[in-house]
Amino acid sequence: MTASKKQVTTLVGLALTVATASAFAYTGQQFAAQANVTMEQARATALKAHPGKITDEELEQEKGGSGLRYSFDIRHGKVTQEVGVDAKTGQVLENAPEGPNAD
């Protein structure tokens, strides 16, 4: 294989990697079609419940509420709070300090 073919192959591989990564911008995005609440709406709800900086976010199937929730780790000072927002109703399901066994 010539150098230019190797470069093209490398660039195509890189482009596919970037395209795949952007297709799933957050963990659990494959469940988004089942949610009535968008990630942006859930973020706003979570930050209203516990102001700070979101350090992790995901959409997950978990017991409680409708069974589908957005989960946010929100850092304020030295404390990280886990805030769960029901993805179908927008209700805050959890607002507690992150435990020692964080996901």
CATH number at 80 reads: 3.10.450.40
Residues 6 or more apart whose Cβ sits within 8 Å of residue 99: 82
Confidence at 26, pLDDT banded by 50, 70, 90: confident
12 within a domain of the structure (yes/no): no
User: Does pTM top 0.85 for this prediction?
Assistant: no
Confidence at 55, pLDDT banded by 50, 70, 90: very high
91 within a domain of the structure (yes/no): yes
13 within a domain of the structure (yes/no): no
Cβ distance 80 to 55 under 8 Å? Answer: yes
76 within a domain of the structure (yes/no): yes
Q: Which residues pair with 83 in a beta bridge?
A: 72, 95
Q: Which tokens go with 1? A: 């294989």
Task: Give the residue numbers spanning the domain of 67.
Answer: 27-97
Q: Tally the domains of the chain.
A: 1
Q: Which residues pair with 82 in a beta bridge?
A: 73, 96
Is a pLDDT exceeding 50 seen at residue 21?
no
Own/partner pairs for 9-16, CB < 8 Å, 24+ apart?
none
Cβ distance 70 to 57 under 8 Å? Answer: yes
78 within a domain of the structure (yes/no): yes
